[in-house]
Chains A and B, each alone.
Chain A
Amino acid sequence: MMSVITRGSGREKRPMITRMHITSWAAVAVACYLTIGCGGLLDVSNPTLIQDSDIANTSGANAQRLNAVNAFNSAVGPVAAGVAVFTDERMYDAPSVAYNNPNKSLDTRDTALYNANNSAYNDPQLEPLTRIMSTTAIAIAGVRANADTSVRGDYLAQLYALRGYAVIQMAENLCPGFPINEVRNGAPYYSAAFSTDSAFRFAIAALDTALSVGRDSSRFINFARVLKARAFADLGQYDSARVASTLVPTDFMYATDVGYSPNVLSNTGFTFFPLAVGNREGGVGLAFASSRDPRVVSVYKMMRYHRTADTVSDSLRDQQKYIPGGASVVVVASGTEARLLEAEAALHDNDPVTWLSTLNALRSGAIAPAMPPLADPGPATRLDTRFKERAFWMYLTGHRLGDMRRLVHRYGRADTTVFAHGTHPLGIVYGKATSIPFNFQNASQYNPHITTGCWPES
């Protein structure tokens, strides 16, 4: 439709508003089409952004696997350090004016200060272990899709074994009701709350997968075997534990990589709060320091505040297992542990001869110079001896809390006979926590299945 408006003198005819608008909005339509249709103008590149397609190849899959291994290497130190502080492996060394609250709470098992709802709690257990779960989940997808077939099985075995380790460590250390979160299909996956035993079974399933897909790699297969045996022992299924560990050679070791973990567990890593090698902590702790056991090497500790070496007291010593800056590794699973589990199974079968011979075989062959053999301490203290041997063989490796809880839950010991109690040298009464809580506030914020905190006295 066309029309005319008259302007000025009336002699001049001008184009219409209507026509102008038709023209204008037609141009808008064209521009809109260009905006949407000219997708090429909006194509950009970014060589610095690694996208999924960039790593959908064998090397990318391996790099993802190595990232999971790295997460494992990073987790072992903090997890083991937390266990050491919570248990009798390490203890205070000073009047402690600068002994900050979270660590003091950890050392004293103070559930009031160190409670599950404490948002300031930095969660040294669940966080690094969840990271193992998330990185292994991502890596497993990458390895399944892109790894070379010659190594795919072993890579998967390693990754599933790492998941088994993470879940076992959660179950041993954390109070029940924790989540096992991870990443699935590029998004967070939040699990239901796990009880301790259900988590061990979850771990065994992962380790079964590892054992089923692994081929000839004794390293990963044996790693999974030891972990599986450990999980069965935690469940009190000692026969299954013995079966799982039987094929593991005594000289087998699965350790963190040199250069990453050592500093975490070294003296350097503990300089922010003062701790010495544990020595009969709380009256029931083991004498890690004063026994001068070659498996727990220590030296006189320079007292932090007095700035002099305490050569009078025989108790305050620095651990030397992990030397600052040295090439120390953390042995997470080993043939030694396999033998110890078999010994425990023998003891459970009331076979003290096999139990003792197994322990003495380790003392003679797994350390140089050989340690003197043990004599049978008699039925009343065999269990103590068995757990003491485990504690010294696996000092500062993150096993101790699981063992102590096992003494309570599987062997019926009162927690006061296992965990330090009474008055802490700071003048504080030891708390009653027998497991480490996770950060409930954080967990419940994201995970709808976590509605109550866990009970560290469990």
Chain B
Amino acid sequence: MTRRRMVCLAGVVLAVGRLTVPMALAAQQAVAAEAEPRGRTTSELLSRQITVQLDRVTVREAVVLLGKAAKIRVQYQSETLAGIGTPVTLHARNMTLGIAFETVLSGTGLRAVPLAADVVNIQPAVVADSTESGAITGYVVVSRRPLRDASVWLDDSTHAVRTDDEGQYRFIRVAPGTHHVSVRALGFARQVRLVQVSAGRTATVEFALQSSINTLDQVVVTATGEQRVRELGHVVAQINADSLVKSAPISSVAELLQSRVPGLQILTGQGGTVGGTVSLRLRGQTTVNLDAEPIVIVDGVRFKSDNRVQRDYGYVDDDKRGVGETRSPLYDLNPNDIETVEVVKGPSASTLYGPDAANGVIVITTKRGQSGRTEFKWYARPVTNSVPTATVSRVYQAYGHDPTTGQLFNGNCSLIYQYEYQVCVLDSIALVPTLIGNPEYAVFAKNRPMWQAGASVSGGSSAIRYFLSANYDWQVGALQTSRRIAQYLESILGTPSLSGDIRQPNTMRDMGGHASVAFDLTSKTAVTATIGYTQTTRLSSQGDAAVFYGINPGTDTTDAGNLFNPYTFLTVSNEQASRITGALNGVYRATSWLTGTMTVGMDLAPSVVHTVLPRVGSVPDYASMAEDSRRSYVGRTMNVGLTATARPDPLSFRSSIGVQYAYDHTDGVDLNGSRLAPGSSSVQTASQLTSQQVWSEVASLGTYGEEVVGFRDRLFLTGSLRLDGSSSFGDAYHPTPTPKVGISWIASDEPFLKNIPGLRELRFRASYGAASRYPTSGMKLGVQQGYLSLVDGNDETVFDRSQLGNPALRPERTRETEYGADATLWGSAVQVGLTWYRRRTVDQLLLIQNALGLPPQYGNLGLVTAHGFEVTANANLITTSAVRADLGFTYAFHTDKVLSLGSAPDSRGNYGGYAVGYPLASEFGFPIVGVADTVGGGPDGIIFSNEFIRDSVNRFLGVTLPPRTYTFTPSIAFWGGYVRVSTTVDRETGFVLLGSRASGYSGNLCLAAYERDAPVMAQAQCYMNTPTTPGDFTRWRELTATFTIPSRFLRLDLLHLQFSQASFSVQGRNLRLWSQYAGSDPESRIAPATIDPSAGGIPQSRTWSVRFDITP
């Protein structure tokens, strides 16, 4: 060890030794014993007798000395005691601690409140502000430790306060009378107390929570406000993002969601690129022509989450953000700013979210400030990013010569094709060196750096709470321009060194922040304002795909000229995007039984993508181009709701009504220029310029009512109704109510099931709901497109009715019935949730091609059914004082079937087709059933295109979305929970993909395409451009080892550093893939936002990261 290292280590030890802040609560809670009733502790503590002598010390010193005298810990906030300059003198013998504190704190407005048997907290005294109202305060503890962030509810209204660092909560200006105060916190059983409040007095209610993994008393955010899980007739998956991001390899919302919710599939594009396409599917693909993405709601505000613009040309089209892969807007959300994510899977649950919630809803709640002392948190996460070459397909190249001239074909000889045309004689076959590690040709760089860092500060008082965060994210894709290609590009540009943009064709920088301020305007009104901001710069070269697919590097420097289009590598796209999402949530507690809520929000996302191949060096004018794609997205949300509650024993009622308005508008323009001026990279200098406007505007207004009736807090019936209007419905549409009903029965609370051994909790639930997807304007009104064409000898503007309208179109309507059961067994050792659903979509919008020669039009024709089964299970396998081992498991099965297409024809394509009797997003084709090696005078061992025999029937070859998904998440914690290791393994089965096996556009991945001696059937398979191959795979998704620094180390005091919590984790992602898929990666889809099953792109990147989380 070097001297410098020794000095550093010594410094760290000294620094840790000076820490005085209490140990990490989380770690303590993990090993805590049973809770102790709090009232008895209080009286004992303050009755303790002490002897002290204080002479002109500060108040701060005085309380510390009192603590020492009583051998207890004294907690206080520095700012609480700062500035109290009056010196304190106290000489006492056998004085009770309570009197001693009262004496010392006299006149300061402070008081000493015992938290546990050996802890006293110094805090402001609570004083009711009016003689006409009272106040309620108290503490929430777990195992004698204060519990922060617990939700404390007054009279089961929709508004809750949260406990601060000391576990304290406070309601002020409470009307005199009897009130219910309840506490809910994740992982703990709910408790309810009845409290009598008198005018001018402060009532104290304290809670000692019992830990529980019972989920039924957890609270989730629903369309009508927060509700307990036990009241819901449907399943809601909840992800605790706050704790997860610290311990799992998560750098995006997509990674946060992946493998954690059964039935939620994350479809990704080119995995090795950064900032690529992400598409979400909840319970499979259920629509053909409309957007299948679930809607995302952030703090009550609609958040544009997909890559697509609903262009009113009668179809849903990809938005244009970036070259090659569009960047998912989900990257605009920083997972470090998210508190929880709740996934509402289908219409049985999502009815009240509006007319396009048929695909499900993802409800995201961002972090809020907590009252109490100011808390800083820092995290840093250096990442290395690689493409695992083990998953890269082998790419072959054939070399040959012209039979007539003898001229060599430098890597451009394909036996079958070229022999068929008799233009090439095969000389040799070689593996293309680009993908197998030759540094001259290497296109995958190892260990590309990525860096993520952020900080947050939160705090406030009971009246105002705040949270502020900032983050920085820099990522570099794993692709690089190989040295050999770079040399060639340098020769084109006439420069000795290429710019970093070209050498490193894919990078992304994100900077952003999040702010939340919550304050109580009056005793009845609370407001929370949140705003998030993200600014992104993303560089991508068209070469990032070309480098993988199309290069032909040759054998020497001159052969680099055989690049299929070298200018592709010089084309760089620079995306500048920013986003502001703001929400203002207000709560008005009119009475103890009536609460009004209002949410006003806006989502703004302007972006510009500048793509250019400048006319520099020897780049010819015809190759030069520039393109500006500008998009401006505006989303507005306004929700107003009213919830009333009543509890006539043994019943309970919760009545909600609301109005929701959503507005979604994208405006954009594309400028495409070619033949730029010499030296220019500006579209303005193009000699040929075309433009296109992009416009989408949809407004919807809906109202709903919901009634939840409870019986003895164990049987809940829910009924709701929603009515919608939308600009897309058109004038001919008459709003149709969409209903929802649900039942939840906590059977284990029934007396006759109370004493079943091992059964702690058993619930049965069922729900039914309807939701709809609406057609685009173009589908209803028809599409007429204007274009220039040479007619009558002149360039004329022509209007073509390319699609007939159908004013009678109705929305697609999806009805879903869901049944399920949840059980907690053997204490809390095993938790199981089972869900079965059945879905029926009528009026499926399908494009009727009409007879050949006539424009097509949309019709409500299709009938699609679906059903599925989901399992969530968690088991505690081992629990000892030293080790705890758990296993999580999820399973989801989904299948759907087209029952009718009306008069619309089958679409038996090989890019995600459909036909009656088969699932949506299916693969069809004419499989090769044999070969007839007869052309050329008899069998010659070479199969030509007209020699293989295809099945005469266009057959179903498989479904392209995995019908079965499994996730295994074992974890083990030891050393008292300070070390925790967990891992996640995914498996997806039962689907097929269009592989890159053969000579498709992905080139030459099929050796038999060149081998004259290969079996003739293998040659025939290679000849097919789009063979279907099984996509089943098992992936080692995550591995995490988290180390929580024991509090005794944090408590050491050195250099005045006062860490309260510190942890670090080692995280790996996408560590291993097992698959028989013939292409590169079954999870890298060419167009994940569609049902196009083409796969085989750049494999998912493997990342290793270390994350440090520090709370001073």
Contacts and interface: CB of A to CB of B under 8 A. Distances in A.
B944 A97 contact: yes
Interface string A169-202: 0000000000101110011101000000000000
Nearest to A17: B646
A66 B793 CA distance: 11
Interface stretch (A38-46, A242-250, A410-418): A38-46
B642 A190 contact: no
Contacts, number: 216
Contacts of A97: 420, 935-936, 944, 946
Contacts of A188: 804, 850-851, 854, 857
Given A31-B659, A35-B659, A35-B724, A130 B800 contact: no
Contact of B805 (A20, A42, A186): A186
Contact of B851 (A9, A27, A41, A442): A442
Interface stretch (A229-237, A254-262, A314-322): A254-262
A32 B852 contact: no
Contact of A31 (B644, B703, B792, B851): B703
A443 interface: yes
Given A28-B703, A44-B698, A49 B777 contact: yes
A50 B852 contact: no
Interface stretch (B58-66, B406-414, B778-786): B778-786
A100 B647 CA distance: 78
B53 interface: no
Contacts of A20: 593-594, 644, 646, 653, 655
Nearest to A446: B851
Contacts of A98: 420, 944-946
Given A55-B784, A66-B798, A307-B422, A46 B312 contact: yes
Nearest to A139: B799
Interface in B924-950: 935-936, 944-946
A330 B852 CA distance: 24
A123 interface: yes
B194 interface: yes
A182 B854 contact: yes
Contacts of A69: 791-792
Contact of A305 (B421, B647, B727, B786): B421
Contacts of B647: 7
Nearest to A305: B422
A186 B850 CA distance: 13
Interface stretch (B249-257, B356-364, B689-697): B689-697
Given A27-B642, A46-B312, A138 B801 contact: yes
B539 to A, nearest CB: 30
B697 A60 contact: no
Interface string A425-450: 00000000000000100110111000
Contacts of B783: 49-50
A253 to B, nearest CB: 13
A51 B782 CA distance: 8
Contact of B784 (A42, A45, A50): A50
B1014 interface: no
A306 B903 CA distance: 49
Nearest to A74: B789
A228 B561 CA distance: 59
A368 B642 CA distance: 90
A41 B699 contact: yes
B227 interface: no
B799 A55 contact: yes
B853 A42 contact: no
A189 to B, nearest CB: 9
Q: Which of B698, B705, B782, B852 neighbours the largest number of chain A CB atoms within 10 Å of its CB?
A: B852
A36 B735 contact: yes
A42 B636 CA distance: 13
Contacts of B212: none
Contacts of B37: none
A323 interface: no
Interface in A265-280: none
Interface in A300-333: 304-307
Contacts of B792: 66, 69, 257
Contacts of B851: 130, 179, 181, 188, 190, 442-443, 445-447
B703 A67 contact: no
Contact of B798 (A21, A32, A63): A63
Interface in B693-719: 693-703, 705
Contact of B178 (A7, A62, A260): A7
Contact of B653 (A17, A48, A51, A70): A17
B854 A134 contact: yes
A446 B656 CA distance: 49
Contacts of A447: 851
Nearest to B665: A44
Contacts of B727: 42-44
Q: Which of A9, A14, A42 neighbours the largest number of chain B CB atoms within 10 Å of its CB?
A: A42
Contact of A257 (B312, B422, B724, B790): B790
B803 to A, nearest CB: 11
B797 interface: yes
B523 interface: no
Contacts of A183: 801, 804, 854-855
B800 A67 contact: yes
A42 B726 contact: yes
A46 B798 contact: no
Interface string B805-834: 100000000000000000000000000000
Interface in A60-85: 60, 62-64, 66-67, 69-70, 73
A25 B936 CA distance: 83
Nearest to A63: B799
B725 A123 contact: no
B1063 interface: no
A188 B796 CA distance: 27
A8 interface: yes
Contacts of B778: 49
Contacts of B936: 97
A148 interface: no
B522 interface: no
Contacts of B799: 50, 55, 60, 63-64, 67
A134 B856 CA distance: 12
A46 B657 contact: no
Given A63-B786, A66-B789, A97-B935, A123 B693 contact: no
A126 B777 contact: no
A24 interface: yes
A126 B853 contact: yes
Contacts of A12: 177-178
Contacts of B804: 183, 186-188
Contacts of A99: 946
Interface in A71-120: 73, 97-100
Interface in B846-874: 850-855, 857
A411 to B, nearest CB: 32
B855 A134 contact: yes
Given A60-B799, A179-B851, A443-B852, 11 more contacts: A24-B705, A32-B723, A34-B701, A35-B725, A44-B727, A50-B785, A66-B797, A67-B799, A98-B945, A306-B422, A447-B851
Please name the 4 residue pairs, one residue from A and one from B, whose CB atoms are nearest each other, closest first.
Answer: A130-B853, A8-B178, A31-B703, A127-B852
8 contacts: A7-B178, A17-B646, A31-B657, A35-B723, A43-B727, A47-B695, A48-B311, A60-B799
Interface of B: 177-178, 194, 196, 311-313, 404, 420-423, 591, 593-594, 642, 644, 646-648, 653, 655-659, 661, 665, 693-703, 705, 723-727, 735, 777-778, 781-786, 789-793, 796-801, 804-805, 850-855, 857, 903, 905, 935-936, 944-946
Interface of A: 5, 7-9, 12, 14-15, 17, 20-21, 23-25, 27-28, 31-32, 34-36, 38-39, 41-52, 55, 59-60, 62-64, 66-67, 69-70, 73, 97-100, 123, 126-131, 133-135, 138, 179, 181-183, 186-188, 190, 257-260, 304-307, 439, 442-443, 445-447
